[in-house]
Structure 1
Amino acid sequence: MASSDARVETLTLGCRLNFAESEAMRTLAPAGSLVVNSCAVTNEAVRQTRQAIRRAWREAPGRPIIVTGCAAELDPGAFAAMPEVARVIGNADKYRRDAFSSENKVVRGDVMAAGVPPVAAGFLSRVRSFVAVQTGCDHRCTFCSIWQARGASRSLAYEAVRDAVARELDAGAREIVLTGVDVTDYAGGLGTLCQRLLRDLPALARLRLSSLDSVELDGALLELVDGEPRLMPHLHLSLQAGDDLVLKRMRRRHSRAQAVATVERLKRRRDVTIGADLIAGFPTESEEAAANTRALIDDCDIVAAHVFPYSARPGTAAARMPQVEAATVKARAAALRAAAAGRRASWLAGLVGTSQTVLVENGERGHSDGFAPVRIAGARRGDCGPTRIEAVDGDQLIGVFE
Structure 2
Amino acid sequence: MNAPHIISLGCRMNIAESERMRAMLAGERDLVVVNSCAVTGEALRQTRQAIRRARRDHPAARLVVTGCAAEIDRAEIGGMAEVDGLVANAAKLDPRSWNVPGEAPPIAPARTRAFVAVQNGCDHACTFCVIPQGRGTSRSLAVPDVLREIEAHLAAGVQEVVLTGVDLTSWGHDLPDAPRLGTLVAAILAAFPALPRLRLSSVDGIEIDPLLFDLLAHEARVMPHLHLSLQHGADLILKRMKRRHLRRDALELVARLKVLRPDIATGADLIAGFPTEDDSHHQANLAIIDELEIVHAHIFPFSPRPGTPAARMPQLAREVVKSRAAELRARAATIRARWLESLVGETLPVLAERGGTGYAPNYAPVALPPGTAAGTIIDVTPSGLREGQLA
- The bucket for the TM-score relative to the shorter chain is over 0.9
Question: Structure 2: where are the runs of 5+ without partners?
Answer: 173-178
Residue in structure 2 matched with residue 127 of structure 1 by the alignment: 112
Percent pairwise identity? 50
C-alpha distance 38-322 of structure 1, shift in aligned 2 (>3 A):
same
Contact 1:127 1:174 in 2 (8 A): yes
SS at match of 1:176: strand
Counterpart CA distance in 1 for 2:75 and 2:344 is 52
Residue in structure 2 matched with residue 154 of structure 1 by the alignment: 139
1:13 matched to 2:4? The reply is: no
Counterpart CA distance in 1 for 2:45 and 2:107 is 24
Contact 1:246 1:285 in 2 (8 A): yes
1:306 matched to 2:298? The reply is: yes
Offset at 1:288?
0.5
Counterpart CA distance in 2 for 1:167 and 1:59 is 33
Which letter maps to 1:16? Answer: R
Show CA shifts across 1:336-393 (max 9, x none).
0010000001001111111111111123200111111001222221221322121111
Offset at 1:318?
0.3
1:163 matched to 2:148? The reply is: yes
Q: Please, what TM-score do these two structures have when normalized by structure 2?
A: 0.94
1:261 matched to 2:252? The reply is: yes
Counterpart CA distance in 2 for 1:310 and 1:121 is 36
Indicate the RMSD between aligned Cα atoms, in angstroms. 1.7
Question: Structure 1: where are the runs of 5+ without partners?
Answer: 103-117
Residue in structure 1 matched with residue 176 of structure 2 by the alignment: none
Which letter maps to 2:78? Answer: A
Offset at 1:284?
0.2
C-alpha distance 157-98 of structure 1, shift in aligned 2 (>3 A):
same
Q: Please, what TM-score do these two structures have when normalized by structure 1?
A: 0.91
Residue in structure 2 matched with residue 381 of structure 1 by the alignment: 374
Show CA shifts across 1:268-307 (max 9, x none).
2112110000000000000000000100011111111100
Contact 2:352 2:378 in 1 (8 A): no
Counterpart CA distance in 2 for 1:298 and 1:121 is 43
Residue in structure 1 matched with residue 342 of structure 2 by the alignment: 350
Contact 2:120 2:165 in 1 (8 A): yes
1:38-57 superposed matches below 5 A: 38-57=36-55
Counterpart CA distance in 2 for 1:190 and 1:120 is 24
Residue in structure 1 matched with residue 175 of structure 2 by the alignment: none
Show CA shifts across 1:150-190 (max 9, x none).
11100001001001011001101110100010111110111
Counterpart CA distance in 2 for 1:65 and 1:120 is 24
Residue in structure 2 matched with residue 325 of structure 1 by the alignment: 317
Offset at 1:211?
0.4
Offset at 1:122?
7.7
Contact 2:20 2:108 in 1 (8 A): no
Which letter maps to 1:133? Answer: V
Higher mean C-alpha deviation, range 119-128 or range 340-349: 119-128
Aligned length, in residue pairs = 379
1:184 matched to 2:169? The reply is: yes
Residue in structure 2 matched with residue 69 of structure 1 by the alignment: 67
Show CA shifts across 1:221-274 (max 9, x none).
111112111000011111000000000000000011111001111212112110
Which letter maps to 1:83? Answer: A
SS at match of 1:267: helix
Residue in structure 2 matched with residue 81 of structure 1 by the alignment: 79
Counterpart CA distance in 2 for 1:76 and 1:225 is 40
SS at match of 1:390: coil
Return the match for 1:237 from 228, 243, 256: 228
Counterpart CA distance in 1 for 2:310 and 2:248 is 23
Offset at 1:28?
4.5
Counterpart CA distance in 1 for 2:136 and 2:280 is 35
Contact 1:242 1:256 in 2 (8 A): yes
SS at match of 1:226: helix
Counterpart CA distance in 2 for 1:9 and 1:201 is 32
Contact 1:131 1:178 in 2 (8 A): yes
Contact 1:39 1:46 in 2 (8 A): yes
1:220 matched to 2:205? The reply is: no
Which letter maps to 1:145? Answer: V
Higher mean C-alpha deviation, range 375-384 or range 361-370: 375-384
1:196 matched to 2:187? The reply is: yes
C-alpha distance 150-22 of structure 1, shift in aligned 2 (>3 A):
same
Which letter maps to 1:218? Answer: D
Residue in structure 1 matched with residue 351 of structure 2 by the alignment: 359
Show CA shifts across 1:25-61 (max 9, x none).
2344443211110001111111111111111111111
SS at match of 1:246: helix
Counterpart CA distance in 1 for 2:198 and 2:205 is 18
Which letter maps to 1:228? Answer: E
Residue in structure 2 matched with residue 114 of structure 1 by the alignment: none
